Amino acid sequence: MKQLLRWSAVLRRQFGERVQKVSLDIGAGCPHRQGLHGGGCIFCDERGGGSGAFIRGISLREQVRKGIAGAWKHYGTRSIILYFQSYSATNLPLERFAAALNEALDAAAALGANVRAISVSTRPDLLPEPVLDYLQELTELCQVWLELGVQTADPRGLQWLRRGHGLDVVERALARLGKTRVQVCAHLIAGIPGEFEDQLARSALWLTDRGVQALKFHPLCVLRGTALEELYRSGRFAPLSREEYVDRLVDALCRLPDGVVLQRLTAGVRPSRLVAPAWILEKEPLERAIAARFLSARRDVPAL
């Protein structure tokens, strides 16, 4: 039977120990937002999907130090991934972007950490050629991953989410990335109003057909201070139930081709930021339920 290829296990086999992400915020912002509180995607809050460290005035070197200290304290490892998570990390001039990455690398080296990979989170419409060239150069040092916020391969879903671009932009970005040594992890969301019940599986296959090596899956959840919160509180949006999400995710997992790495199976949300659904906070039981359902799923799944 098909196995779940979890990224944590892949990294442990590659490097012989646990590899821990260190989430970083370089204050890049997002061109699709208007400051902290305006514009942007319907689900995005003022922290841009990250820690908010830049807003709180925490220097990049201090973020690296805290992350490395936490990896050692909780997991006994100094093997790390420098994860430029918040907002769209490539939303900076190349000089500033490269300076931030080099500063983080220098800080990690000074603290004796082993940087096994660099992961950069961004949008498919924010990949200028000089940035891609720079990321390509970094592949000589370590693995380089680009986390691409795709969310869905349904054009109607992209419009509802207020992504600000169409599916053609995603396709062009993937074609360009396919000519580099940069590895791609795409984010996908389940529970967009009006989507097909099997849209998560459709989107996942659309992406893997275009060379995406890894996926992150998330249910659409409501964070404080977002446009989605307004829809939720007015009764115009209802998130998926836990059972619905597990059903849709397992359907997608069963259809994936072999070799696709799973970097995440659900959302990681701070309780203070979450409005709904509450079941997202029960991450470990949810992942156990997903694994159990996957193991009991039919081996032969009809093609889409």
Quote the CA–CA distance of 10 and 16 in Å, as a whole number. Answer: 10
Q: Is the preceding peptide bond at 285 cis, omega within 30 degrees of 0? A: no
Give pLDDT tens digits for 196-237.
Answer: 999 999 999 999 999 999 999 999 999 998 999 999 999 999
Give pLDDT tens digits for 105-122.
Answer: 999 999 999 999 999 999
**Which domains does the chain show, CATH number per domain?**
7-296 (3.20.20.70)
pLDDT value at residue 1:
57
Give pLDDT tens digits for 258-273.
Answer: 999 999 999 988 899 9
pLDDT value at residue 6:
94
CA dihedral (108, 111, 113, 118) in degrees, to 10, reads: -10
pLDDT value at residue 188:
98
Give pLDDT tens digits for 272-286.
Answer: 999 999 999 999 999
User: End-to-end distance of the chain based on CA atoms, in angstroms?
Assistant: 20
Give pLDDT tens digits for 17-55.
Answer: 999 999 999 988 777 655 545 556 898 876 655 567 877
Give the lowest-confidence range in 60-74, 81-95, 98-112: 81-95
Quote the CA–CA distance of 81 and 18 in Å, as a whole number. Answer: 11
Q: Is the pLDDT of residue 194 over 90?
A: yes
Q: Is the pLDDT of residue 246 over 80?
A: yes
Q: Which of 177, 193, 187 is nearest to 215 (CA)?
A: 187
pLDDT value at residue 52:
73
33-34 vs 114-122, strand pairing mode: unpaired
Cβ–Cβ < 8 Å for 263, 7 = yes
Mean pLDDT of all residues belonging to the chain: 91
Write the DSSP string, 163-216: -SS-HHHHHHHHHHHTTSS-EEEEEEEE--TT--TTHHHHHHHHHHTTT--EEE
